[in-house]
A = this chain, B = another copy of it.
Amino acid sequence: MKIAVDAMGGDYAPLEIVFGAVRAAKKYECEIVLVGDEPAIRKVLEHEPDWEKLGISIVHASQVIGMDEHPADAVRTKKDASVVVATRLVKDGICDAVLSAGSTGAAVTAAQLILRRIKGIGRPTIATPMPTPKGVTLLLDSGANVDSKPVHLVQSGLMGSLYAQYVFGVKEPRVGLLNIGEEETKGNEQAKATYQLLKNMHTIRFAGNAEGRDVPKGNFDVVICDGFVGNVVLKFAEGLAKTILKLIKEAVKNGGLFAKLGALLLMPTLKKLGKRLDVTEYGGAPLLGVNGCVIISHGSSNAKSICSAIGVAVDYVKGDVLAHIRDSLAKEEILTNDGEKN
C-alpha cells in the first residue's frame, strides 16, 4: 500500500508533515510518497537518515496552493501544486490514497477534478470523526457543500454508514439526521424532505432525528447534516473546548496555592481524559464520494495527527470502502438515479 502525502500543506509544513510521515512509515504497513519541494523535504529527512529503508520516497512538485487562494482557480492553473500532483498519483494508480493538511477547498476540488465523483453520487462530503464517551460519531458533511439537496444528505448517510461499518467496525451503524426535534415533522424543508427519503432506505439503519445534544453524547454512530451546519458545529466545538481549557488554566493560575496543588494532582487523570477526547487521535477526515481515498487533515496538524491520519488512510484502503459504496449505490436504485440528476 502506498500513501501520497502533500508535504507542503498545513500550518507547520513541511516539518510536521514529514515527521508525521516518518512516524507512520514505522507504525503502519505502508509506503509513503512525500509530494512537494524536494530540497525542503530532504532537509527535514536529514533527521531520519534511514528514510528510504522505511519505504519513504519523494515526488517533486514545484508549486504550493495557499490557504487564501481560490480553490478552483488554483487547482486549474497550478498544475504542479503539491496537492494536485499527490492526487494525480492516486488517479494514475501509483498510490492508494492521498492526504493533505493544506487548503480543504483545494484538496476537495483536486479530488473532484482529478478523481471524479463516484457514479451516482451528487456531491462528495467530508466525514469528520468526533470522539464521544461511547466511541466515535461520524459527522458529515462537515463543510464540503452547502445548500445540499435531500438526496445528497441521504447519500452522505449511506457513505458514512459504510465507513463506520468497514473502518470503525460498527455493526449496523445508527444513522441520525441532525435536526431541531425528534419528531418526523420537525425541522426545515431540507430536513423534512431528507427524513422521508431516509425512512425508505433499506441499506442503512436510520435511527431518526438527532438533536444537537445527541452528537457529543454519542447517541448515534453517524450524523448527517448540510455542510453549513456541520462546519458551524465543528468549529463551535473546537472554540468551546479551547475556551473552557483556557478559562480553567486562568482560574488555576489566579486560584492560590490549593488550586495549584489540586491541578497538579489532578493533571494525570485529566491528561488521560484529554487523550481520549483528542481529535488528533483521528487526525484526518475522509472525503467520501470520489473515486479514491482522500483524507483531509486539519491545517494545524502536527506530526502526531499526520501519523494518525495516515492510519485512517490505511484503514480506509484495507476496509475497501470504495467498493462497498459502489455496491450499495447499485442496490439503492432510486438514489442512484436521483444522484445523477442532481
Contact = CB atoms under 8 A, between A and B. Distances in A.
B236 A248 contact: no
A263 interface: yes
Contacts of A240: 216, 237, 240-241
Interface centre among A191, A238, A258, A269 (most CB of B within 10 A): A269
Interface string A152-192: 00000000000000000000000000111000000111010
Given A227-B180, A269-B259, A235 B251 contact: no
A238 B213 contact: yes
Contact of A246 (B133, B180, B188): B133
A238 B241 CA distance: 12
A244 B245 CA distance: 11
Contacts of A269: 251-252, 255-256, 259, 262
Interface of A: 132-133, 143, 146-147, 178-180, 187-189, 191, 211-218, 225-229, 231-244, 246-248, 251-252, 255-256, 258-259, 261-270, 272-273, 276-277
24 contacts: A133-B247, A146-B188, A147-B189, A178-B232, A179-B232, A188-B226, A188-B228, A211-B235, A212-B238, A216-B236, A225-B232, A228-B229, A229-B229, A229-B232, A236-B236, A247-B277, A251-B272, A252-B266, A255-B269, A256-B269, A259-B269, A262-B266, A262-B269, A266-B266
A265 B258 contact: yes
A164 to B, nearest CB: 20
Given A132-B243, A240-B240, A251-B273, A180 B259 contact: no
Contacts of A147: 188-189
A223 to B, nearest CB: 10
B189 A212 contact: no
A131 to B, nearest CB: 10
Nearest to A212: B235
Given A133-B243, A217-B242, A218-B243, 8 more contacts: A147-B188, A147-B189, A213-B242, A216-B240, A232-B233, A237-B240, A240-B241, A262-B269
